[in-house]
Amino acid sequence: MHDIDYLERRGVPGVFVASDTFIDAAETQSAGLGLDVAGVYVAHPIQDRTDEEMTALADGAIDALLGALTGPA
Amino acid sequence: MVPPTEARVSRMLEGTTRSPDEVVVLVPPNLVECPVEKVAVNAVMAGCRPEYLPVVLAALETVCTDEFNMHGVLATTMSVGPILVVNGPIARQIGMNSGINVLGHGNRANSTIGRAVQLVLRNVGGGAPGGIDRGTLGHMGKQGFCFAEDEDGSPWTTLAEDRGFDRSQNTVTAFCGEGPNLVMDQLSRSPESLTRSLASSLRTAISERVVLGMDGMLVMSPEHMSRYRDAGWDRARFMAELTECLMVDTDSILGGVDGVEEGLPPEFAGHRVPKFRPGGLLVVHAGGPAGLFSAVIGGWKNGPGGSDPVTREITP
Amino acid sequence: MTTTILDPTSEQAPATRERVGRPESLAGLTVGLLDISKPRGDVFLDRVEERLTAAGATVARYAKPTFTKPAPADLRHEIATHCDAVIEALAD
């Protein structure tokens, strides 16, 4: 999230992806950074998933990712 | 918790020659500039005496480094935290415990120095448990974990000497570790037997299927040390013999062996590797005079992507 | 007589900033995918890359050396210089 904060300061819109057990960690870090960093959460756990499951998670997240990086002009 | 009144903080600041507004460190995770006075406020709350303050300041200088990686130590779900070992004359001067209950309770300096460091990380750095601090289980040492090495009672060089300092220097070493695990060996009379016995416990640190990627600490008690003293083994001899006993056949820790999926990938088959990387096992002499027990403390991910032990000199 | 208790916290409320403005669409833009180097994140990002490419974006892939620290300054700078937007994944 420090990375996204830096990139937003440089004018680059950013979004991070985390598993949903990290929602409160992300909120705490956002408060510490002073920026409501855009985040998209996917279902925990991650590390023992198969390729097919990871691809499905990405398909499920893509609309939210596009939404977080685009907006009205 | 001691209320940090102006008078108490003022007295605490007399424990150091450093200026109250001198910035000591940038405290993770929020990377906040932390002046001496803020450390003093938290040291008062922790219950420190003014003469402990230089140790608290040096401890913060060890953990708030890129090598120690305190941000990562907080954020990991592995239940580890900074473990602080004090070497040098200051340990005796401020009344630190290196004997009975050394890893436990009952001594003000041991109990409060680590606590003060933890309070600075939470209060100043923003690393609160449940927020950035994600330890799945945590351990009681995350309240604060600080002790002194028993230097006078050891025939060996000290941890600080092993790390390039001399005995006249006051130092604090930070190691990222879990809680202590007792190792019992009440029957070994020879150093060879005790070394094999200690190795059998060290091999299981964190998981027997983890090799090289995580460091460890061995806290050797005086009675166990007496086996080495009597046999004339110095630290170097012990480490050489122990390292040999800690060689692991990778075929025994591959994923799937003995019906356990955790383990190394198949391409690592057929090798013989050390449990710990060179220099990755810290050995400290401490504990009460009676009891044939030592303690193993497993570490976290080591190297640039994790946390490396860091030693700093304590200055007034 | 009053007793003053000193504040143990940083006493700093960070200046709150708004997110930077977003483009209407990512079509024709360069989107950086920053892999934080945790296991499985690469498979997730492979699929995100396919979907972004299908949506008309150009994808640039990056990886942090370790997930336990912020990205090195030169990597951050490179992303800021070459990308119009960035997705960082996958923390768990």
pTM, two decimals, is 0.89
Chain C residues whose CB is inside 8 A of the A61 CB are 48
Subunit partners of chain A (3 or more CB pairs within 8 A): B, C
ipTM for the predicted complex: 0.94
Chain C residues whose CB is inside 8 A of the B38 CB are 8, 10
Is the predicted pLDDT of residue B109 greater than 80, yes or no?
Answer: yes
| CB B197 within 8 Å of CB B238 | no
Per-residue pLDDT tens for C44-81?
999 999 999 999 999 999 999 988 888 999 999 999 99
| pLDDT of A27 | 85
pLDDT confidence band for C92 (50 / 70 / 90): confident
Q: Does B305 touch chain C (CB under 8 A)?
A: yes
Least confident window among B282-286, C13-17, C74-78: C13-17
Per-residue pLDDT tens for B119-164?
999 999 999 998 889 899 999 999 999 999 999 999 999 999 999 9
Mutate to test the interface with A, among B33, B74, B132 (most CBs of A within 10 A): B132
Closest CA to B247 of B298, B195, B199: B199
Is the predicted pLDDT of residue A67 greater than 60, yes or no?
Answer: yes
Are A29 and B134 within 8 A, CB to CB?
A: no
Chain C residues whose CB is inside 8 A of the A16 CB are 87-89, 91
Are C22 and A71 within 8 A, CB to CB?
A: yes
Task: Return the CA Rg of chain B.
Answer: 20
Per-residue pLDDT tens for B177-192?
999 999 999 999 999 9
Q: What is the mean pLDDT of chain B?
A: 97
Per the structure, how many domains does chain C have?
1
Are C92 and A44 within 8 A, CB to CB?
A: yes
Are A70 and C22 within 8 A, CB to CB?
A: yes
| pLDDT of B232 | 98
Is the predicted pLDDT of residue B70 greater than 80, yes or no?
Answer: yes
**Where does chain B have alpha helices with state H?**
6-13, 36-46, 53-63, 70-75, 89-93, 108-123, 159-162, 191-202, 222-231, 235-245
- Count of beta carbons in the 10 Å neighbourhood of residue B183: 21
Q: Who wins on pLDDT, A1 or A65?
A: A65
Residue of A nearest to B125 (CA): A32
C39: domain range? 30-89
| pLDDT of A59 | 96
- Count of beta carbons in the 10 Å neighbourhood of residue B196: 16
Is the predicted pLDDT of residue B252 greater than 70, yes or no?
Answer: yes
Return d(Cα B3, Cα B46) in angstroms, integer.
9
Going by C-beta distance under 8 Å and a sequence separation of 6 or more, which residues neighbour residue B226?
A: none
Going by C-beta distance under 8 Å and a sequence separation of 6 or more, which residues neighbour residue B168?
A: B88, B89
Is the predicted pLDDT of residue B100 greater than 60, yes or no?
Answer: yes
Subunit partners of chain C (3 or more CB pairs within 8 A): A, B
Of C23, C40, C51, the CB nearest to A47: C40
| CB B143 within 8 Å of CB B45 | no
Q: Tell me B266's DSSP state.
A: G
| pLDDT of B201 | 98
- Count of beta carbons in the 10 Å neighbourhood of residue B212: 15
Q: Is the peptide bond before B266 cis (omega within 30 degrees of 0)?
A: no
pLDDT confidence band for A73 (50 / 70 / 90): low
What is the rounded (10 degree) CA torsion for B66, B71, B73, B76? -130
Are C23 and A69 within 8 A, CB to CB?
A: yes
B 10-49 residues inside an 8 A Cβ radius of C: 27, 30, 32, 34, 38, 41-42, 45
The percentage of chain B sitting over the pLDDT mark of 90, rounded to a whole number, equals 97
Q: Strands B81-87 and B146-148, how do they pair?
A: parallel
| CB B227 within 8 Å of CB B188 | yes
Are B131 and A24 within 8 A, CB to CB?
A: yes
